[in-house]
Structures are given as C-alpha cells and as structure tokens.
Amino acid sequence: MEFKVSAGEKYQTVLDAEISVEEMAAALRIASKKVSAKVNIPGFRKGKVPQSVLENYVGIETLLNEAADEVMGRAYVEGIREHDIQPVDKPEIEITQLEKDQPFLFKAIVTVRPEVQLGQYKELPLIKKIYQAEDEDIDADLNSQRERVAKLVDVPADAIAMDKDVVNISFAGYLNGEAFEGGTAENYALEIGSKTFIPGFEEQLLGMSVGEEKNVNVTFPEDYQQEKLAGRPVVFEVKMNGIKRKELPVLDDEFAKEISETADTLAELREETRNRLEEQAMANANIVCQKEAIKMAVDKAEMDIPPVMIEHKMDDIVKRMEDQLAMSGLTMEAFLEYTKNTREDLRESYQEQAGFDVRQDLVLEEIIKAESIEVTEEEITKELEALAARYWQPAEKIRESLEQNGQINNLIFSIKMMKAGDLIFDTAVITEEFITKDTEKTTKKAKKEKKLKV
C-alpha cells in the first residue's frame, strides 16, 4: 500500500491510497469466497465456486466492490497512522480506480484535529476568593444541625397550624364540581412551607386547627404534567387531622456533646464549626480558582475548530443528560414534553458550552504533549480505588472490566487530562482574597452599577 497526503479544503486533509495489483488479487480471492458462500450456482456447492465462474455469474464488478470493502478499512487505518493524521469525523471516501488487474485507487477526505498554539498556561495571575465564616454563618449551621435532630411533637389542643409545622390532612380535589384522578388522599403528611404541593395550597393551611375543615382554592401551573389540569382552577376540601411541631434541642454544652465526637462545650462546637466551614470555603475556592485558571489558559490559546467537533460535543452532552435522566427513571421524551422543548432546541442550547469544552480538551491535550505528562501505576490505582468507592465494587474488578472492554487507556488519558489541569492551577500566581457576605454584596452592587452606567 502506498499513500500520499495533500491539503484539502479548510479543516481537511486528503489521503490518496494505492493498493497494488497483488494486494487486490489477494482481496479478490477473499471476496470470492464470501460471495461463493451466498449464491446458488448449478453444479457447484456453496463456498466452492471458482473465482472465474463467479466473475461470469455475478460479474467482476460485484467481486471488485466486495474486495474494495474488505481492503479499504485496513488501508485507511494504515494510512492515517503512517502519516500521523488525526481524524475528528468519519472520512468522505471517493473511489478513483477500481478495475481488474489494475491498482485500486481511492482518496479519503479527512476532517482533522486543528493545530493548537498554546499561549501562557503557567504562572497565570489569579485571585482566589475565600469566604470567611462569620458568627451568623456559624449560627445558621448550628441551627441547621438542631433542625436535623429535632423531634416532632403534638401541639396543644388549641394551637393553630404555623409555618414549618408538619400537618396530617385529608383532602379531596374537585374540578368543576367533579372529583379528579389523584386529587384525593387520607392522612397525608405535609410540611407547611416545603413547597412540595401545588403553589398556594400550603399557605391556606396556616391558622387551621385540629378538626377544622376548609375549602382551599388553587390553580394548577400552566406547565402541569396532566394536561386536563394544567392552568385550571380547582377546589380542595381539606380536613386538618393533626399538627406536629419541631421541638429543637437547646443550644448548650449538652447539645455540643450529642452531635460532636470531640467538642465538650458549646464554645468548642462553635470553633469546630468555624474550622469546618472555612475548610469547605477553601475547597470551594480552589475548585472555582482552578476552573478560572483553565479558562484563562484556554482563552490565551489560538485554534480554529472544525464545526463538526462542536456538533459531536453537543451530541455527547445531550447523550450524557439522557443517561442521567434514565438513572433517575425518566426518559428524554418525558423531559422534553415537560419542558415544552425539542431535542434539537435542547441540543442547540448547549452550543456555547460545547464550543468551550472542545477548546478546553484541545488545550489540555496540547499541554500533555508539551509537558510530556505521564501516568504512574500508583495514580492508576488511586483512580481505580476512587471508582471502586463510587460504584461499591472492588478496584480489581473495575480494572479487569476496563481492560476486557479496552477502556483502560481511556482511564489513563483522563488522568493525564486532570494532571494537565492541575499543572495550570499549581503553577499559577495566586493572590488570596478573604471575603464576607458584606463584601460580596458590595462587589455585586458595584458590578450592577457599572453595568447600568455602560
């Protein structure tokens, strides 16, 4: 096989392939056996028909086309490897010569990976904004913990339903005076203010007492999944069966001992909470800062991306979304119907994200080459252990599965990509800026005023 490479139209490379007469003769013999096994020719058993007889019976063109199909795939793979062509889409194939006792000629028009000119990706100047925990944050966290361990107790007989109470109700819903499917329930538990019921329903339970009955008037949302109820006003006949209220534990030393393994006093618990919040804030700041660092490196690089790469990435994003919906027991069709969207509209909405994702992948891949980034066995083991913890399977079993499916190289490549991202962040020149809720509000206000002036 011989190959020549030339420039095609924008984003494309043309690979001209020549398969010799001898190679085509061997391919014709293989093609003849395949065709022989499919045809019935009087006087010959299937699979035992001589090539010369087949040529007269089915025509040389049929055998040549079969031979071309057999040899083209191998030739294309060999050609792109030999000339280090990196396709990003299926090639366009054009056969230019296919005749008996002549070399087989074809050309593959290949859309190729664009060249990437890296800009600055080391020592990038960054500001890491770290949220500083204040007393009100600690108070909010402790109250949240009190909520989690709170007990539900019956309210006094003369009490009325209040926000955050858990009520037991029975109800029956009517549309134009007729009961509708799914609108009736007995002893239904509902937390007032949870916003889990139809908008406007929970608010009308406020002030009701145990044993009281009341008509609740609401209108279903316009996008409600049941079309016959969407946007329609209905009446619920509601009876208040019971009211329970959360009894929060007292915020004292005993509470501290109950929820903490190390704190013996409320003061120690507050300090422990402050440290935890600040650790979380630092971790979040690092994540945000790394994303900003990678984005900066991507923005400083130069490349001209073939549109087909963005199209493929959009398809990938929608496919991942479809898989996530399936894991939640939903279908893409149901999701599109609920959001009143089409698959194409959804796909197009991810065009900007897809464009950035493609550029980011290309930049990280180029950094891997520039920095000769490799992966150690220890790093592979660490990633396998992380996958094992996520999927509740032994790391050895995950490795075995990846190797059997030929996916282990994909894992290694993903680790390289992570290391490239870490390199950008680790070499950045970072200025730490500690912020509070007040400074955040001031910054947002200044940005808003600046935008209004512009």
| 216 and 324 together in one domain | no
Lowest mean pLDDT among 60-74, 91-105, 283-297, 410-424: 60-74
**Domain membership flag for residue 252:** no
Q: Could you tell me if 163 and 192 are in contact, meaning their C-beta atoms sit under 8 angstroms apart? A: yes
- With 0-12 / 13-18 / 19 or more C-beta atoms within 10 angstroms meaning exposed / middle / buried, residue 41 is middle
Q: For residues 142 and 270, give the distance between their C-alpha atoms in angstroms, rounded to a whole number.
A: 8
Domain count, the chain: 3
DSSP for 328-392 reads: TT--HHHHHHHHT--HHHHHHHTHHHHHHHHHHHHHHHHHHHHTT----HHHHHHHHHHHHHHHT
Q: What is the pLDDT of residue 67?
A: 85
Asked if residue 165 lies in contact with residue 247, where contact means CB atoms within 8 angstroms, the answer is no
Same domain, 33 and 102: yes
Give domain status of residue 259, yes or no.
Answer: no
Do residue 228 and residue 361 come from a single domain? Answer: no
Residues 209 and 299 in one domain: no
Rounded mean pLDDT, 184-207:
93
Domain with residue 70: its CATH number is 3.30.70.1050
On whether both 328 and 375 belong to a single domain, the answer is yes
- In this structure, the answer to whether residues 275 and 328 fall within a common structural domain is yes
With contact defined as beta carbons under 8 Å apart, do 424 and 367 qualify?
A: yes
* pLDDT tens-digit readout, 325-383: 888 888 888 888 878 888 899 999 999 999 999 999 999 999 999 999 999 999 999 99
The pLDDT assigned to 193 comes to 92
Of 83, 111, 139, which one is at a domain's C-terminal end? Answer: 111
Q: State residue 454's pLDDT score.
A: 45
Answer yes or no: is 86 within a domain.
yes
Q: Do 220 and 315 lie in a common domain?
A: no
In a domain, 42, yes or no: yes
Torsion sign (Cα): 165, 167, 172, 177: negative
pLDDT digits (tens, 9 = 90+) for 400-451: 888 888 889 999 999 999 999 999 999 999 999 998 877 655 555 445 554 4
302, 431: one domain: yes
Task: Kindly report, residue by residue over 197-215, the tens digit of the pLDDT.
Answer: 999 999 999 999 999 999 9
> Is 190:167 a contact under the CB 8 Å cutoff?
yes
- List the CATH number of the domain containing 201: 3.10.50.40
Q: Helix, strand or coil for residue 119?
A: coil
Range with the poorest average pLDDT among 132-141, 247-256, 264-273, 400-409 = 400-409
- 282 and 396 inside one domain: yes
Instruction: Tell me which residue has tokens 């996958």.
Output: 387
For the domain that residue 341 is a member of, what is the CATH number? Answer: 1.10.3120.10
- pLDDT digit string, tens, across residues 53-72: 666 667 788 888 888 888 99
Does 146 reside within a domain?
no
Please answer whether residues 430 and 300 qualify as being in contact, where contact means their C-beta atoms are separated by less than 8 angstroms.
no
Evaluate whether residue 129 is within a structural domain. Answer: no
User: What pTM was computed for the model?
Assistant: 0.75
Q: Which of 60, 93, 111 is the last residue of a domain?
A: 111
Give CA angle at 275 (274, 281), nearest 5°: 90
pLDDT at 47: 60
Best CA proximity match to 362, nearest among 290, 424, 309, 308: 309
Q: Which spans in 251-328 are helix H?
A: 253-259, 266-300, 307-327
- Tell me what pLDDT residue 443 has: 54
Residues 333, 397, single domain; the answer is yes
Query: Which residues neighbour 119 within 8 Å (Cβ) at sequence distance 6 or greater?
Result: 297, 299, 300, 301, 302
Contact present, 235 and 217 (Cβ < 8 Å)? yes
Residue 190 domain boundaries: 151-247
The token duo for 256 is: 């501290």
- Judge if 270 and 230 occupy the same domain: no
What single letter denotes the amino acid at residue 136? E
Domain annotation covers residue 166 = yes
What's the chain's average pLDDT?
Answer: 89
pLDDT score at 42: 64
Instruction: Confirm whether 143 is domain-assigned.
Output: no
pLDDT at residue 452 greater than cutoff 50: no
Same domain, 281 and 238: no
Domain termination residue (choose one: 197, 217, 247) = 247
